[in-house]
Amino acid sequence: MIAPGQLVDLNVEKPAAGGRMIARFSGQIVLVSGAIPGEQITARIERVRQGVAFAETVRVEAAAPDRREPFTDPLCGGCLYAHITYPRQVEIKAQVIADAFARIGRMPLAAPVDVAPSSDDGYRMRARLHVRDGRIGFFREGSHQICDARATRQLLPETCDALDAIAARSGSIHAWGVRELVVSENTDASERVVHLETAGHVDLDALRPLGQTPGVTGLTATPATVLAGDPHLRDTIAVGEHRVALRRHVLSFFQGNRYLLADLVAHVMEQIARDDDVIDLYAGAGLFSVAAAVVRRARVTAVEGDPIAAADLKQNASALGNAVEVVHQPVEAFVVAHRDAPAVLIVDPPRTGMSREALEGAIRLQPSTIVYVSCDVATIARDARRLLDAGYALQHLRGFDLFPNTPHVEIVGRFQKISGLQDFRI
């Protein structure tokens, strides 16, 4: 019987969601980190749970041609694919999407999913970091051990410079009760806001000088206290000949890849016809709502439950007259009370996907088209199955690699209401 600590020889078969790869030992599934499909490796078993073994690569016996020397520790947050050449990363993500739709959604795809690639240098506009023992950085996978954010290449060099300047006082801010911080910036990095997450009673006045850090335009602290500068960031996103202007608070959710942001918005806009009636659930600061009104002249109802994001949404919609109606309400409550069927329903839920109540309510609205934006392949595959069973066909599916060097990928699916046979095509 396979046991923790045991060394095993494995032939790596295919990728799994979450960053590990699938192999088998004596018929038992082994999920192994640090490997690439097609490789022969020696791995050490870490643990066995519910009949599945988890292992780490300790030696590569026959390397894949797509293996590269990692640019940093692959176990540092955001770097699990650092040992894989980037073109192969994109192929693997397309395979993971196809596997999830076939296995979870019971929807075999007729063709490979196109995944738009991204530069992996400084792509992140928003990141959560940790403060421990005088250091600021990401957690190493499965631990509370801090690793250097700069070496991961996720953040711009000037962002790391600002964090280093704050880190020079990190011993003090740790003593003052700061254990986490969020850094958020706009696409051209002309604005950068840092939010400090504090615990217990904290002398906020002692933290205010951090707002004078070079490169920092705003500083806030828990819950949403402004300590210095402006807590908001501003972007203008080019979509064809149109310009979409948005303001967002440092704590508002926003898509985090500066290089693919405009492409993602443009793709969602392609799913909307001119003058459509649109409902945007989980609207956030209004990325898709405002774009739909500006680019497609749509009439939009934008629904957001978070009060900070809803305030941004209201501000962004105010420049558009009556084109965007803002509803500050949980999605579950809105779909129960709303009765009018939109031409297009956009949903961009959190990683956990739509709750059953939200999805059932969305289906009851009977939109002609549902545009589902997801950062988790398992939840969109799960919800896609429910949409098919409710009489929708999957017409189009595309990936966007918003998270290079990680196993995560953004997916946009277009579902069309049909009658009769429930089939689908890509």
Residues noted as catalytic: 375
Asked whether the beta carbons of 212 and 188 are under 8 A apart, the reply is no
Query: Nearest-CA neighbor of 72 among 363, 412, 404?
Result: 404
Asked whether the beta carbons of 266 and 240 are under 8 A apart, the reply is yes
Instruction: Report residue 377 as tokens.
Output: 């392949």
CA dihedral 67, 70, 74, 77 (to 10 degrees): -120
Identity (one letter) of the amino acid at 328? H
DSSP state for residue 368 in the 8-state scheme: S
Instruction: Report residue 190 as tokens.
Output: 């002309």
Identity (one letter) of the amino acid at 5? G
DSSP state for residue 161 in the 8-state scheme: H
How many CA atoms lie less than 13 Å away from 199 in the CB half-sphere? Answer: 8
Asked whether the beta carbons of 87 and 93 are under 8 A apart, the reply is no
Cβ contacts of 15 within 8 Å, gap of 6 or more:
21, 22, 37, 92, 95, 96, 99, 407
Dihedral-angle region of residue 415 (phi above 0 means left; psi in -120 to 50 means alpha; beta otherwise): beta
